[in-house]
Amino acid sequence: MMTIPMLNLFLDSLEEGVLFLDKNRKVLAANRAATQMVGREGENLVNLLCPSIFKGTRCAQACETRGRCALTQDWKAGDVIQDIVLQRPDSTSVFLRMWARLLPPSENLPLSCAIILRDRSHEAELEQKVTERLQLGSMVGHGPAMQKLYSQILRAAPSNASVLLTGESGSGKELVAKALHDNSERCKGPYIPVHCASLPENLLESELFGYAKGAFTGATVAKIGRFEAAEGGTLLLDEIGEIPLGTQVKLLRVLQEKEVVRLGENHARPINVRVIAATHRNLASMVERGGFREDLYYRLRVLPLHVPPLRERKEDISMLANKLLGDLGKRYKRDNMRLTHEALLALEAYDWPGNISQLFNALEYALVHADGPIIQPQHFPPEIEYVAPPAPGVTAPEPSLARPYYRPQQQLVNEAEIISRVLAETGGNKAETARRLGMSRTTLWKRLKQVPI
């Protein structure tokens, strides 16, 4: 059983503030965090009435009106949470979340409930910073998915804990890693990205950990590794799922001991590096199959962040496409390029299996194929097709025709039947057939080539 001194030590180690009250709402005990939050550090809160500590807040007013703790009045329905702004004795304000837990009756202790406090001032600042944010670093987006990601980045950035970024290839994990670095206290230190999949196994260890002179044939001089190069900064281990098991063991030791041993040396060198790992693989499944070490997985996954694919944030495509096109315009010295409304609709209709990388390539393709400053749907690669809205009074095209990507043979046959029927209705007029089906004549011609009518 925990003794009173040990209990006090434990309570004082908590980030949350805790106030123990008797049935008359008097304070019996308080931990250090609680006294700091309410601005009464060094004072004795014992025997003070709870409403007097939170004077002026909604919680105190409700408590005084009812004559009992407002947080516990409906305790049978579960915890009642209130967010309050407390004006402290030094005239500063603090944004607190507070809730109560009723305590079981005890003959030895006259405890009635515990008031738990959490300082949300920093969270409120983050929420304000993130609200309506359109960009963070090189990332662009204003939709709910990106607002959530921005908030997660700003929360994780001040920490030195390892981050595991997951997401599909091309979704922008490298941009998230750079934003984490740029918004951290390490921003003035080096940012070193390592693409693990691009390095052969026999070179990966020497690149990561460095080597001594004569460590192997060709090592004519000593060389520091990426960990030492990132001293005081951030190291991105991109495609971490490609690291072989033998290297995973050594990497785990570096993360645990915070020191690195160069190849060919026996002494360790201390390092001060924050590690961010990124992967498009399902590492949890790899752990189950024995392809990735479980201890390394959890060492890297202290702060997990998932980067959403582009198809889950289509509301950002217009803004993102215009930004990427602006970057391409500078590269090609064609700053006056712009996308038509129909071109943007075509981009938003596509599912982007290659995510942002594919969008960038499609825009570069269009820029090269456009004769003037205006990009139309026909300038995009063939897989990105614009389906015009049907004319008034015309039935909308069937889904199989409106979304022409990666169609199985059976679907092609079904489309052939539909096209054949409409061709018969129009007397073989391909232009009218294409209009009724909501596709361009070029697309209709492609369909006819795939499955002859």
* Domain edges within the chain: 4-119, 128-306, 311-379, 399-450
SS3 199: coil
Ranking 61-75, 206-220, 359-373 by mean pLDDT, the lowest is 61-75
Q: Which residue has the higher pLDDT, 387 or 47?
A: 47
pLDDT for residue 127:
52
CA angle 154, 133, 169 (to 5 degrees): 70
CATH of domain 128-306: 3.40.50.300
Least confident of 77-81, 131-135, 166-170: 77-81
Mean pLDDT of 379-389: 78
Q: Give the up-direction half-sphere exposure of residue 19: CA atoms within 13 A in the CB hemisphere.
A: 29
Give me the pLDDT at residue 451, please.
54
Please report the pLDDT score of residue 94 as a whole number.
82
Q: Give me the torsion for CA of 143, 325, 370, 449, rounded to 10°.
A: -40
pTM score: 0.60
Better-scored residue on pLDDT, 256 or 452:
256
Rounded to the nearest integer, the mean pLDDT of the chain is: 81
Confidence of residue 80 (pLDDT cuts 50, 70, 90): low
Mean pLDDT of 202-220: 83
Question: What would the CATH number be for the domain defined by 399-450?
Answer: 1.10.10
pLDDT at 453 over 80: no
The SS3 of residue 163 is strand
Q: What is the DSSP letter of 391?
A: P
* pLDDT value for 401: 44
In this prediction, residue 402 has a pLDDT band, given cuts at 50, 70 and 90, of very low
CATH number for the 4-119 domain, one of 3.60.21.10, 3.30.450.20, 3.90.420.10, 3.30.70.270? 3.30.450.20
Distance (Å, rounded) from C-alpha 28 to C-alpha 14?
A: 18
Under 8 Å between Cβ of 99 and 82:
yes
Number of residues written out for the chain:
453
pLDDT band for position 56 (50/70/90)? confident
Instruction: Tell me whether domains 128-306 and 311-379 share a fold.
Output: no
311-379 has CATH 3.90.420.10 classification? no
**Comparing 386 with 254, which gets the higher pLDDT?**
254
Distances (CA, A) of 363 to 258, 312, 323, 368, 412: 44, 20, 11, 9, 28
How distant, in Å, are the alpha carbons of 74, 273, 343, 376 from that of 381? 61, 43, 12, 11
Q: What is the dihedral of CA 53, 54, 56, 59, to 10 degrees?
A: -140
Phi, psi of 375 (to 5 degrees): -100, 120
What pLDDT, on the 0 to 100 scale, is given for residue 107?
Answer: 65
Q: Does 93 have pLDDT greater than 90?
A: no
Query: So what's the pLDDT on residue 4?
Result: 60
Q: Is 448 left (phi over 0), alpha (psi -120 to 50) or beta?
A: alpha
- Mean pLDDT value of segment 336-362: 90
Q: Identity (one letter) of the amino acid at 67?
A: G
Mean pLDDT of 396-418: 46
Give residue 195's pLDDT. 93
Q: What is the dihedral of CA 198, 202, 206, 208, to 10 degrees?
A: 40
In the chain, the percentage of residues whose pLDDT exceeds 90 is 35
Return phi, psi of residue 239, to 5°: 55, 50
CB 313 within 8 A of CB 168: no
pLDDT at site 88 = 82
Residue 10 has a pLDDT of 76
Report residue 414's pLDDT band, with 50, 70 and 90 as the boundaries: low
